[in-house]
Structure 1
Amino acid sequence: MTPKVIGPFRKSSYSGAENNCVEVAATAGGGRAVRDSKDPAGPSLYFTPTEWTAFLASTRNGEFAH
Structure 2
Amino acid sequence: MGAGVLIPTWEYANDETSKEHIKNCFSIFFYLYLKIFIKIQKNNITYILYIYIYIYIYLVYIYAR
- TM-score calculated relative to the size of structure 2: 0.29
Identify, as 1 or 2, the structure richer in helix. Answer: 2
Identify, as 1 or 2, the structure richer in strand. Answer: 1
Larger radius of gyration: 2
